[in-house]
């Protein structure tokens, strides 16, 4: 407990002199000897969060190095709370989810050799991304990892519903998490936080690949599930571009996402805690992954985020620089809106030459001059990653949830009139019908 990252630094291409105070943050031990960080940075990861102007910071984040006790595995997660107790829910998920996931993964390891691969990845009803059996990137453990993510998320949400110490009836949290083992990358997403991958196209230029879909209530598959459970999806006249999830008979709570931990007032009406899980096989072209809450994505495009992170003089400063740009973008683009909480994790994928030097003069100053002209959403194309090499959010038939109107609040909360205790007792039949 309280140990610091003291291993010898490898050449990352980023200079770290003069940044010791920021790097030497306390870490603690997780399950199976994992190194747990809630702030700071190390050789491969930078993380930062900043409170907005809406009250207490409801964003949370964590990094588990040597996940499950193995040096080649890492887990990262960013969580965005909402509602009166959103900060408590987000912190709880941050602290418990990695432990639960590591336990589920450990318990499933000895079964992998006996498992039949057929059908393991294709079950869209359980939140998995589609995956071709002919895909040479298929790995025997991918199916096991995917099921472990889904089980950990759902089990944790069930336990949260029974926890009397946390008021999660009208409060909840998103989660965007990644698990990396060497070239294998799994992303599990719940809600409207987002993950992107920075890679190089055939012209060696840095381009973003969006790894997740922003799970909003108006996405066709999400809306269909919600309506089948008698939930309602519509936008209020005062924010016509923001569809929200509402109770059947009341204009409450107006949740801006279709999947989340907590928010048990909506769990019988289409809101689920099953994550969408995506698999990507990393290549030598890939540089870094960025996880961030919607406080970042509401004001910065995928292209802008890639340019900002790549322009950081030091890796340790990348997340802090990104959050700083997001806060400034809020002030510039939406001067009459309250700045949202912002949290970001930048996971660098390799040690070789400086990304900053390879961007042909891309600096923080040039980023300031150029990012304002970028479009708000960037999706992958064939030049960034061959279709057969990855299974990412683009393979979904659902459209991107590009920013049509800024999300200023995640829930328009009016506490429903019916009893909390009665509504938190979910019917088994209803739960069986919302697996997608």
Strands (E) in 256-334, as ranges, are 261-262, 276-281, 288-292
**Token digits of residue 249:** 């008979």
**Token digits of residue 17:** 């002199």
For the chain, what percentages of helix, strand and coil (3-state, to nearest 5) are there?
Answer: 30, 20, 50
CA 260/CA 265 separation, integer angstroms: 12
pLDDT the model gives residue 217: 98
Among candidates 35, 63, 58, which has minimal Cα distance to 47?
63
Please, which residues have CB within 8 angstroms of residue 174's CB and are 6 or more apart in sequence? Answer: 79, 80, 82, 190, 191, 192, 193, 257, 260, 261, 293, 294
pLDDT the model gives residue 349: 96
Which is it for strands 232-235 and 206-210: parallel, antiparallel or unpaired? Answer: unpaired
Q: How many CB atoms lie within 10 A of CB 352?
A: 12
CA 388/CA 386 separation, integer angstroms: 6
Q: How many CB atoms lie within 10 A of CB 336?
A: 5
- With 0.85 as the threshold, say if the pTM is over it: no
Residue 28 phi, psi dihedral angles, 5° rounding? -130, 170
pLDDT the model gives residue 40: 84
**Token digits of residue 239:** 């924010």
Length of the chain measured in residues: 436
Please, which residues have CB within 8 angstroms of residue 38's CB and are 6 or more apart in sequence? Answer: 61, 62, 94
- Residues (pLDDT < 70) of the chain are 1-26, 110-139, 352-408, 412-436
| Whether the Cβ atoms of residue 108 and residue 144 lie closer than 8 Å to each other | yes
Beta bridge partners, 344, equal 48, 292
**Token digits of residue 181:** 């083992």
401 SS3 class: coil
Q: Which CATH number fits domain 27-192+213-283+367-432: 1.10.510.10, 1.40.20.10, 3.60.40.10, 1.10.10.410?
A: 3.60.40.10
Beta bridge partners, 372, equal none
Strands (E) in 201-340, as ranges, are 206-210, 232-235, 243-246, 253-255, 261-262, 276-281, 288-292
Eight-class DSSP state of 338: P
The domain limits of the chain are: 27-192+213-283+367-432
| Whether the Cβ atoms of residue 80 and residue 56 lie closer than 8 Å to each other | no
Compute the radius of gyration of the chain from its Cα atoms: 21
Among candidates 149, 172, 259, which has minimal Cα distance to 215?
259
What tens digit of pLDDT does each residue of 113-127 get?
444 443 333 344 455
Return the sign of the alpha-carbon dihedral for residues 238, 241, 242, 243. Answer: positive
Secondary element (H or E) of residue 117:
none
């Amino acid at each position: 407990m309280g140990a610091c990252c003291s291993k010898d630094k490898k050449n990352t291409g980023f200079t770290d002199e003069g940044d010791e105070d920021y790097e030497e943050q306390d870490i603690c031990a997780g399950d199976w000897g994992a190194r747990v960080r809630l702030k700071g940075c190390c050789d491969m990861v930078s993380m930062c969060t900043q409170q907005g102007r809406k009250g207490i910071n409801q964003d949370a984040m964590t990094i588990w190095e040597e996940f499950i006790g193995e040096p080649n595995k890492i887990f990262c997660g960013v969580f965005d709370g909402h509602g009166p107790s959103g900060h408590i829910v987000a912190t709880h998920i941050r602290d418990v989810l990695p432990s639960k996931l590591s336990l589920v993964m450990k318990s499933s390891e000895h079964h992998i050799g006996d498992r039949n691969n057929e059908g393991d990845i294709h079950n869209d009803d359980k939140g998995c991304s589609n995956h071709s059996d002919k895909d040479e990137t298929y790995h025997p453990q991918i199916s096991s990892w995917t099921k472990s993510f889904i089980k950990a998320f759902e089990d944790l949400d069930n336990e949260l519903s029974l926890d009397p110490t946390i008021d999660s009836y009208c409060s909840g949290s998103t989660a965007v998490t990644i698990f990396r083992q060497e070239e294998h990358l799994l992303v599990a997403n719940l809600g409207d936080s987002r993950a992107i991958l920075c890679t190089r196209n055939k012209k060696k230029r840095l381009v973003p690949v969006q790894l997740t879909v922003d799970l909003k209530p108006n996405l066709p598959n999400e809306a269909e599930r919600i309506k089948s459970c008698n939930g309602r999806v519509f936008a209020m006249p005062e924010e016509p571009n923001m569809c929200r999830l509402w109770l059947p008979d009341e204009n409450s709570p107006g949740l801006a996402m279709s999947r989340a931990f907590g928010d048990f007032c909506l769990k019988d009406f289409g809101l689920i805690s099953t994550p969408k899980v995506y698999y990507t096989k990393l290549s030598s072209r890939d540089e870094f992954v960025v996880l961030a809450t919607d406080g970042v994505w509401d004001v910065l495009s995928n292209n802008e985020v890639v340019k900002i992170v790549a322009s950081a003089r030091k890796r340790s400063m990348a997340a802090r620089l990104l959050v700083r740009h997001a806060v400034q973008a809020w002030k510039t683009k939406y001067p009459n809106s309250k700045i949202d909480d912002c949290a970001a994790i930048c996971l660098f994928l390799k040690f070789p030459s400086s990304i900053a030097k390879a961007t042909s003069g891309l600096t923080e100053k040039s980023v300031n001059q150029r990012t304002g002209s970028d479009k708000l959403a960037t999706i992958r194309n064939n030049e960034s990653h061959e279709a057969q090499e990855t299974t990412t959010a683009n393979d979904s038939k659902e459209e991107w949830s590009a920013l049509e109107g800024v999300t200023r609040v995640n829930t328009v909360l009016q506490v429903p009139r019916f009893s909390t205790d009665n509504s938190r007792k979910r019917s088994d039949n209803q739960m069986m019908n919302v697996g997608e």
